[in-house]
Amino acid sequence: MKHNAIIAAVALAWLLVAAPHRAAAQDAELSRWATRAWENCTKLKSTEEQLYMRCAALTATAEAGDAVRLRDRAAFMVQSVRSAMDSWQTFDVLGYTAGAYGIADDAQSFKSLRDSVSLILTDVHIRCEYAYGLASSGRFDAAATAVSGLNEDLQQFPPKDIANTRVTLAKTLAALGRYEQARAEVAMLPALADRVSTLGDAARSADDRGDREVAMQLMRQAHERFTQGLADADQRQAVLEVWVTLACDAVELELPEMVAAIEDEAQAAITAAAGGQTAGALLPASQTVCVRIAMLAYAAGKTQDAEEREALVQRLVDEATDAWQLVRDSRTEATRVLAAAGYHLGRLGELPRAETLYALTQEPLTQVLYSVAVVDGAYPRPRKHPGTEPAQ
């Protein structure tokens, strides 16, 4: 079970093409949110949930620029899985630790981590995650060096064993502007849902780099794969699980018609699966509200009118609050709603406002992922479109 899959389950579209500079005051505030996430992990009853939520909190710690706590927490994570019987948990934890070191540009810690690894597959995996972390922090030259040879190294392993690693590689290549190589990696992914979400992520990376035409091509390909998946009974359910992420990608690329088409197609697929009966066969409100939140946030970031921005942000908070009230009895649905809102409030620099939604819930998993989402949203990223620059 990968952290990326957990985040996808709560409908977060993680963006990892970042600028390394940020004001110290914001660093301290983000570190507080990351620490909140880390500490709330102790409240989780499941050992596996604790493990994977700590992975999420570790990434947030790196994004917050908290180098001291990052090393301490990474050491704790690595030690916690050294004696674990589950080799895949060890594989995942070491991967996220490497990614965090990449975000923090901590080559020394990464070298020590790599020296401790004996399995070739794990070594390839952590190299890939480290390269992605470097790319996510805007260190493109270092990422290009780190990613060298990874494609060839992956060829020696069964596709199912390296699917998540290949997703990471494709995203890294797209962030570096190597779009054809990224497409080639996507084509080798066994799951259609992974192809859809990875192409959407690549489209956003291309747009961030100013390659609008490429971004449109990649987004159209993602939409085509999505439509193809909905028509395949064997793929439909898995593809439906990424419709929110894909729709949010389209929001970012200013494609309102595609946003509407994606939602309509998802709804039609659910209705068809129910034998054409619309009653009780609607898209979950917790999913549709995530798309509305993304649209409100994008509009708030783009407007130059202070009063309009304030009204849009308040609508975002109100929509999230109302939706949470409706689904609060479902941990998964409630987490999806609040995490989506937290991400966008962080991105808009509305960190005090984010406290309002955090106070709604006492559910530890929701608290962890909400805090992580706030940090991830606030993590500075270069943006081509006006109004989407992070608050400094």
DSSP 391: P
Given this model, what pLDDT does residue 337 score?
97
Question: How large is the average pLDDT for residues 197-206?
Answer: 96
Running DSSP on this structure, what letter comes out for residue 382? -
Using the predicted structure, report yes or no on whether residue 276 has a pLDDT greater than 90.
no
- Mean pLDDT on 255-263: 97
Confidence (pLDDT) at 211:
95
Q: Model pTM greater than 0.75?
A: yes
Long-range contacts of 333-338 (CB under 8 A, 24+ apart): 333/284, 333/286, 334/286, 334/361, 334/363, 334/366, 335/10, 335/363, 335/365, 335/366, 335/369, 335/370, 336/9, 336/10, 336/11, 336/286, 336/287, 336/290, 337/286, 337/289, 337/290, 338/366, 338/369, 338/370
> Where does residue 301 rank: exposed (0-12), middle (13-18), buried (19+ CB within 10 A)?
buried
Taking the C-alpha atoms of residue 26 and residue 42, their distance in angstroms, rounded to an integer, is: 26
CA–CA distance, 38 with 323 (Å, rounded to integer): 26
Query: Is the Cβ–Cβ distance between 56 and 368 less than 8 Å?
Result: yes
| Amino acid, res. 90 | T
Tens of pLDDT along 141-178? 999 999 999 999 999 999 989 999 999 999 999 999 99
% of the chain with per-residue pLDDT over 70? 88
- The more confidently predicted of residues 13 and 343 is 343
pLDDT of residue 387: 33
The CATH fold assigned to 20-190 is 1.25.40
Phi, psi of 303 (to 5 degrees): -70, 150
Which has more confidence, 217 or 11? 217
Structure confidence at residue 8 (pLDDT)? 39
Whether residue 125 has pLDDT greater than 50? yes
- Domain boundary assignment for the chain: 20-190, 194-283, 290-392
pLDDT, one tens digit per residue, over 48-90 is 999 999 999 999 999 999 999 999 999 999 998 876 656 888 9
pLDDT for position 18: 30
In tens, the pLDDT along 35-47 reads 999 999 999 999 9
DSSP assignment, residue 385? S
> How much is the mean pLDDT over the chain?
89
Amino acid identity of residue 167, one-letter, is V
Residue 387 φ/ψ region, left for φ over 0, alpha for ψ in the -120 to 50 degree band, beta for the rest:
left
The residue type of 4 is N
The conformation of residue 363, written as its DSSP 8-state character, comes to: -
